[in-house]
Amino acid sequence: MKIGEKIRELRIRNGLTQQELADRCELSKGFISQVERELTSPSIATLMDILESLGTNIKDFFNEQIDEKIVFKKEDVSSLENKELDHVIHWIVPNAQKNLMEPIVMELAPGGMSKAEDPHEGEEFGYVLSGAVILHLGKQQYRVRKGECFTFKPNMSHYLSNGSRGKSVLLWVSTPPTF
């Protein structure tokens, strides 16, 4: 982290000149200029005075947050084909297993099925994009067609199977992540 660069950004964001910041901190304009150009480093006490004048504190100043990615594109998707169960899973949000929910797109070939999941905490949601699926929830079965959705608390074993003659595709969201 470049301290001077970050101080300059905060000063500009606060609409202050170097002279105005210097006056607030009882420092010289030349010193502020040197700090911003990384030619000198302020003492901790001086840095705390500068930050206070800029409306922040040392903890927030050094708490660098990585910008959260909001939009994901085709090139972000990773996929895994399971030939035994005859399905493909597309993770449409990379590293979603660290989040509270995990959305995937699942393609089920004719006769294909998802892996059977044991009961777990959370919720499940699915929206059928094409074809039809059969939701196996414990001993119950529910047919879900294109344009329909399902949601349930996964307190019993569950899985999906293809309920059509062609390929079926669905958006499936699990909380917590289980895929």
**pLDDT tens per residue across span 12-32:** 988 999 999 999 999 999 999
Same fold, 3-62 and 74-175: no
Q: How confident is the model at residue 176 (pLDDT cuts 50, 70, 90)?
A: confident
**pLDDT tens per residue across span 35-54:** 999 999 999 999 999 999 99
Q: How confident is the model at residue 153 (pLDDT cuts 50, 70, 90)?
A: very high
Tell me the two tokens of residue 54.
């800029």
**pLDDT tens per residue across span 112-149:** 999 999 999 999 999 999 999 999 999 999 999 999 99
CATH of region 3-62, choose from 1.10.260.40, 1.10.3720.10, 1.10.287.3510, 3.30.360.10: 1.10.260.40
**pLDDT tens per residue across span 70-123:** 899 999 999 999 999 999 999 999 887 778 899 999 999 999 999 999 999 999
What CATH number belongs to 74-175? Answer: 2.60.120.10
Q: Give the C-alpha separation, 86 to 111, whole Å.
A: 7
Q: What is the pLDDT of residue 66?
A: 58
Nearest C-alpha neighbor of 17 from the set 5, 26, 8, 27? 8
Residue 87 backbone dihedrals phi, psi, to 5 degrees: -145, 165
Q: Where are the domains of the chain?
A: 3-62, 74-175
Residue 110 backbone dihedrals phi, psi, to 5 degrees: -55, 125
